[in-house]
Amino acid sequence: MTEFASGTLTGKNLHLSFGHNHVLRGIDLHVEKGTTASVIGPSGSGKSTLLRVMNRLIEPDKGDILLDGRSVLKDNPDELRQRIGMVFQQFNLFPHKTVADNVSLALRKLRKLPKEQARAEALEQLDLVGLKHKADARPANLSGGQQQRVAIARALAMKPEVMFFDEATSALDPELVKGVLALMTDLAKGGMTMVVVTHEMGFSRNVSDNVTFMDAGVVVESGPPEQIFTEPRTGRLKGFLSDVL
């Protein structure tokens, strides 16, 4: 894997409400440069929303977001999102574009690279995820696992400082999960700063440096995986772990 221009990401006291629904109630999340933080918790606990708030797809009502120690809330959100790659549960590849065009679109239009150079870089990224030979295929002709690897390549092409994974393997057939998790593990080991919202407890336990357990919009427990998985302190985490393990 290549070197990453990783950054340190911090969310401080993040709040968000949709009407009367208080989705995030003061979340703190700190991801040290080059490490992987996983976020676990029951459905509806606000994990996916937290990711969207931290790259300002949704603006927080309160709190602060720092990248390398500097608040980014006053930055242009579009520029912030160029620095944070995101991978979605449903892949969200652009179906009207080829695989290579999916990966090179932002390089061409945002980084303003000439077409050939953008394509060359896209092919390089696709090579990293093992799908260079699918460059001219349409996303619909790829398996779910392949689509997700293309989505990862698309995000990596922008050379992000942080990568978000929002339940990246939840929509995959079981036999396809492995390949995507292996790729994510490679990225983590390669020194990418990652925030991984996941139901894959194995990944959370074995790959991440820090695990955050969220429930009902608050961080219930946070710590190194050993502590979270072997010595849960709260009843809520114990209950959750006994449900999923």
Partner 1 sequence: MDLLDQLADTFFNWEEMAKVIPALLMVGLPNTLILAVASGILGSFLGLGLAMMGISRNAAARWAARAYTDIFRGLPAILVILVIGIGLSPIAREITGNRNPYPLGILALTLIAAAYIGEIFRSGIQSVEKGQLEASRALGFSYGSSMRLVVVPQGIRRVLPALVNQFISLLKDSSLVFMLGLAASDREIFRIGNDAMANTGNLSPLVAAGVLYLILTVPLTHFVNFIDHRLRTGKPEKKEPDELAAPIGKGAQA
Quick count: other Cβ atoms within 10 Å of Cβ 83?
Answer: 19
- Compute the least distance from the CB of residue 90 to partner 1, in Å: 5
Is the CB of 78 or the CB of 243 nearer to partner 1? 78
Q: Which stretch binds partner 1 (CB under 8 A): 3-11, 59-67, 153-161, 220-228?
A: 153-161
Residue located via tokens 């606990």 = 45
Is the CB of 70 or the CB of 96 nearer to partner 1? 96
Quick count: other Cβ atoms within 10 Å of Cβ 101?
Answer: 18
Is the CB of 100 or the CB of 201 nearer to partner 1? 100
Q: Which of 133, 178, 189, 238 binds partner 1 (CB under 8 A)?
A: 133
Is the CB of 37 or the CB of 99 nearer to partner 1? 99
Per-residue binder mask for partner 1 (CB under 8 A), 60-99, x = binder: ------------------xx-xx-xxx-x-x-xxxxx---
Token pair of 177 as six digits: 């999960």
In the 8-state DSSP scheme, what is residue 33? T
Indicate whether 171 belongs to the interface with partner 1 (CB under 8 A).
no
Q: Pick from 11, 25, 12, 75: which is nearest to 220 by CA?
A: 25
Strands (E), 35-169: 36-40, 62-67, 70-71, 84-87, 162-166
Contact call for residues 191 and 17 (beta carbons, < 8 A): no
Quick count: other Cβ atoms within 10 Å of Cβ 62?
Answer: 12
Binding site for partner 1 (CB under 8 A): 55, 57, 78-79, 81-82, 84-86, 88, 90, 92-96, 100, 105-106, 109-110, 116, 119, 123, 132-138, 140-141, 151, 154-155, 158
